[in-house]
Chains A and B, each alone.
Chain A
Amino acid sequence: MALVSLTNVTKTYPAAERGGAPVVAVDDVSLDIEPGDVYGIIGYSGAGKSTLVRLVNALEPATSGRITVDGRDLTEMPERELRGIRLGIGMIFQQFNLFGSKTVWDNIAYPLRVAGASRAEIAARVAELLEFVGLADKARNFPDQLSGGQKQRVGIARALATSPRLLLADEATSALDPETTQEVLALLKRVNREFGVTIIVITHEMDVIQSIATKVAVMDGGRVIEHGDVFEVFSSPRNPSSQRFVATVVKGIPSPAELAVLRERHQGRIVTISFRDGDVSQASVFLELAAAGLEFELVYGGINDIQGRAFGHLTLAIRGADAAIDAALSRIASRVDVTEVD
C-alpha cells in the first residue's frame, strides 16, 4: 500500500485582489508514493511543488480531493489529530528554519518534547542523532555559529527525532554550495537506506533528482504533467512541457539560440539522435550513416548518468543527397529517437 496517496487533490487560494480570480496552486494532482521511495518533485518556481508538499503534512488544508498518509485520511481530520500526524512526518527546509534562540541540542530535542518524551529518552535520542549527522561536538552551539551545511544537518537530525517514516525535503539544498549539497544529499541517502525513511524531495535542481531520487514527478502550473521512474522521465519525457523542462537541465539538447548558431556554422541537415542506455549503440548509428555514404559531424551533445544508467543526445550535421539522408534516418528512427531540427 502506498505510504502517501493523493487523489484528485486541488488547492486554491483566494485572489490577492478583490474581484480577481482565485489562484490554483495545486490542480487535480493524483500521486502514489510507496514506502522506501525517494520521490523527487521537480518544476520551476511557482509550479506548486511547495504547496503540494505542505498538503502532505497538512500544514495547508486541501481545497478538494483526498490525501492519505499511512492509510489515514487527512482531509477530514480535526487540527488536534493532525498534530499527531505531523509528529510522524519530518520536514526540512531551504532556509533550515532552526530555532535561533535554542542550542543545536535543544533544536533536536524540540519535537521530542512536543511528543512528550521523557528526559532520559530525549537525552539518548538527541545524542544518537548528533552522532548520526556528525555534529556531536556542536551540541552546545547556537545555529548562527554553524555553516550552512551544518545547519541543514541539524535540520535533518531534528526532522528525524521522532523516528518518522516520511521525510519532506523542501528545496533542502537550494541554499547550499555544490559541495555541501552533495554532502547533504549523501546524508539523505543514508537516511533512506539505513532507516528506511521514505523521502519526498522538492527541488528545481536536476542534480538533486539525479543523485538521490528513484521516482520523479514533473510539475508545471499546479499540475503533475509527468511522473514515473527517474530514468524514464528524464531520458524520454513524453509531455511537451516536461520535454522543455528536461531540456533545460539535461545535457546535450541545444537551446533554440544555440541551434541558430549551429545552423549558421554548419551545412547540411541538423538532426538530434537520442540514445538510451543499452538500447542501441552509438556505433551502429554512425555505421548506418557511413554505409549510406553520408558525411556527418557531431556538432552538439552530451551524455547523462542517472542511477548508474546513461542516456544522451547527440546532434549531427549530415550532408548528402536528401533522399539518401531520409532513407538512412528512417532506418535509424526504427531503433532510436531521431528529431530533425529545421
Chain B
Amino acid sequence: MDRLFELQGEFWVAAVETLYMVALTLLIGGFAGLVLGTVLYTTRPGSLLSNRGVYNVVNVVINFFRPIPFIIFIAAVQPLSRLVIGTGIGNNALIFALSLAASFAIARIVEQNLLTVSPGVIEAARSMGAGPLRILLTIVIPEALGPLILGYTFVLVAIVDMTAVAGLVGGGGLGTFAQVYGYRQFEPVITWAAVLLIVAFVQGVQFFGNWLARKVLRR
C-alpha cells in the first residue's frame, strides 16, 4: 500500500496515457472504420451503390488483417508505422497500430449495424426520389444510430484492453504500469490498483454508451 502512495505520480501519468491512447485510437480508428464499414455496406451486391470489385477488395483486406493477434500485429506493422508517423516505438506507435487494427474491427461492426436497417425503409426513400448518398447520410446512418453507438461502446472496451500491451513497443499506460511496478516487482496491490481503475473506466464508458443509445432509441 505504501508503495502505491510512492508511485502515485506514475500511476496518474499512466492513467492519462491510457486515456490518451484510447481517445486518439477511437477518433482515428473510429472514423476510418466508419468509412470502411460504410463502403462495405454500400458496395455490397444489391445495395445502394453495389460494386462487386470494391466490395471484394475491401472485404478480403479486412479478412486478411482481422485474425492477426494484436500482439503480433504491432510488431508486423512497425515498419509501416516508422514510414507513416516516423517512429516504431512509444505511445504513438501503439496508437498507429491500434487505430489500424480497430478500424478493421469497427468496419465489420458498422457494416453489420447498417445491414439491420430495413430494406423497406430504404425503398421508401428511393421511391421519394432520394439518391444513394442522401439515403446513406439521412436515412441509413440515423436509422442505425442506436446499435452503432452500442457497437462503438463495445469496441472502445476492446481498445482499452488492447492498450495494455503498449509496453511491447515501449509505450506507457496502465497496462505497462501494472506490469512494471506490479507484476515484475511482486506488488499485487499495484497491479490491482491499475485493474480497478481500468474496470471503473470501462464501467463508465459502458454506462455512458448504454445511456446514449437509449436516448437515441428512446427506449
Chain A interface (Cβ within 8 Å of chain B)? 57, 59, 80, 83-87, 89-91, 93, 95, 97-102, 110-111, 114-115, 142, 144, 158, 162, 168
Contacts and interface: CB of A to CB of B under 8 A. Distances in A.
Given A99-B139, A114-B134, A87 B129 contact: yes
A101 B142 contact: yes
A84 B131 CA distance: 10
B218 A59 contact: no
A158 B127 CA distance: 11
Contacts of A101: 142-143, 145, 216
Interface in B138-155: 138-139, 142-143, 145
Given A87-B129, A114-B129, A115-B129, A97 B142 contact: no
B124 interface: yes
Contacts of A90: 127
Interface of B: 118, 120-121, 123-131, 134, 138-139, 142-143, 145, 216, 218
A91 B143 contact: no
A86 B126 CA distance: 8
Given A114-B134, A142-B218, A99 B127 contact: no
Contacts of A100: 121, 143
Contacts of A83: 129-131
Contact of A59 (B121, B126, B145, B216): B126
A57 to B, nearest CB: 6
B129 A86 contact: yes
Given A102-B142, A142-B218, A97 B123 contact: yes
Given A99-B139, A101-B142, A142-B218, A91 B127 contact: yes
Given A83-B130, A83-B131, A97 B143 contact: no
A91 B124 contact: yes
A87 B130 CA distance: 8
27 contacts: A83-B129, A83-B131, A84-B129, A85-B129, A86-B129, A87-B128, A91-B124, A93-B123, A93-B124, A95-B118, A95-B120, A97-B121, A97-B123, A97-B124, A99-B139, A99-B142, A101-B142, A101-B145, A101-B216, A102-B142, A110-B130, A110-B138, A114-B128, A114-B134, A144-B218, A158-B128, A168-B127
Contacts of A95: 118, 120
Among B125, B127, B129, the one with the most A-chain Cβ atoms within 10 Å of its Cβ is: B127
A168 B128 CA distance: 12
